[in-house]
Structure 1
């Protein structure tokens, strides 16, 4: 156990930055940062490098598209242009459409506030994932991404270690079991550990630096 805790500490030091933090999102239980996480989750769902998706989320925010209302105020072309500046080019047009449609859905169903979606799920993680998957381009992978990152501000999701995180744990010799993993880290660091394990699962080089 002691050796595993040391490994986890090293893992957090090397790769424990969440994708939200990398995208410049100061995650909090507030409408704008939660919406920006939703957008990031959509962007990360496609077959594109994570760094490009993160850069695209940052470009959309830089262009002012930080709430559903502002996303809807932007033109489709402005969304495409922001994605293009981050080289998110293969899926830029379809994603620009999906982001517009998703913002409209969030506005219509939840008055633009994902906390209302959380309330609808009433603490049921499966139901939360089901509601998230109603957003365009947000499939099972995207729902996992959102929940992994949101667990730092929505405690009822903890511990959220999906298949990708457990694959990463196995790669570095940690338990591939959520109940065992959560014992190795402080409550506030569960989301960071999940992010680190995903990075390990996606990049063998990360594991070599441990």
Structure 2
């Protein structure tokens, strides 16, 4: 970790994209990849697995529990809309409980059944069809939220962030936590609007050699920094602290 911090000092003075690559190396990138989900081929089955994981991530619950719960769904062989409907409410609650998702087990089981029913009735169990029928990025987001009550901006942003570059209309704006981390690291200014901030982050990522298709790694890394360090003000433990304006002004490194 110290080596990465030194690298961030070297390249982070102007908050450029080389700094961002170092952060990805330090804290990790896409959550889908961490779960073993391969989105790059755009396959319907893999995309639905990521949607299932995004629904789990969308609740106020620890990443560890979400990962355990997703593994429980995999072990049960319940990772398709058809299997979810066939498993039924009691079976879904059992899987959720095995993963440790007990705080939200009842409501999440209901949510999963309702979204799968809507997906079957309106889009033939294919999220790719939903994307194809959407007229633009905002319509895509609204169609996802309309699958069932309880799918909101947080879940949709989690889902679409990692489909950027795979689905043409997947263009979510940066979340609050991404904005927080990017601002602290000097990658954007406090006056930047979200669309402007997104363009700046993409530009800086590309300028230093980051590949366009890997930009979701950058966003996910900033989310991790914002969630695990900036929001909690745990500057001393943050791998990016030596490139952070906030930590520098408070003397925390």
TM-score normalised by the chain length of structure 1: 0.90
| Structure 1 contact 159–178 (Cα < 8 Å) conserved | no
Which is higher, the Rg of structure 1 or of structure 2?
A: 2
**Counterpart Cα distance in 1 of 2:86 and 2:225:** 38
**Counterpart Cα distance in 2 of 1:181 and 1:141:** 20
Give the one of 208, 215, 222 matched to 1:197. 222
**Aligned residue for 2:35?**
23
Say whether 1:77 aligns with 2:105: no
Which has the higher mean CA deviation after the structures are superposed, 102-111 or 146-155? 146-155
- Residue 92 of structure 1 deviates from its aligned partner by 0.7
**Counterpart Cα distance in 2 of 1:192 and 1:159:** 14
Give the one of 51, 56, 78 matched to 1:43. 56
Say whether 1:157 aligns with 2:170: yes
Gaps of 5+ in 2: 1-10, 190-196, 206-210, 241-253
- Residue 153 of structure 1 deviates from its aligned partner by 1.8
**Counterpart Cα distance in 1 of 2:59 and 2:38:** 23
**Counterpart Cα distance in 1 of 2:167 and 2:80:** 19
Say whether 1:209 aligns with 2:239: yes
- Residue 133 of structure 1 deviates from its aligned partner by 0.5
**Aligned residue for 2:137?**
125
| Structure 1 contact 24–58 (Cα < 8 Å) conserved | no
What is the CA deviation profile of residues 155-190 of structure 1, one whole-angstrom value per residue up to 9, with x for unaligned ones?
443575333322221132222511110012220111
**Aligned residue for 2:184?**
171
| Structure 1 contact 83–92 (Cα < 8 Å) conserved | yes
What is the CA deviation profile of residues 83-116 of structure 1, one whole-angstrom value per residue up to 9, with x for unaligned ones?
1122111001111111111111111110000011
- Residue 43 of structure 1 deviates from its aligned partner by 1.1
Say whether 1:61 aligns with 2:96: no
Give the one of 24, 33, 40 matched to 1:12. 24
Report how many residues are paired: 208
SS in 2 for 1:157: coil
**Counterpart Cα distance in 1 of 2:188 and 2:216:** 16
Cα root mean square deviation, aligned: 1.9
Say if 1:147 and 1:159 are closer, same or farther in 2 by CA, change over 3 A. Answer: closer
Runs of 4+ in 1 over 3 A off after TM superposition: none
**Aligned residue for 2:248?**
none
Gaps of 5+ in 1: none
Say if 1:106 and 1:170 are closer, same or farther in 2 by CA, change over 3 A. Answer: same
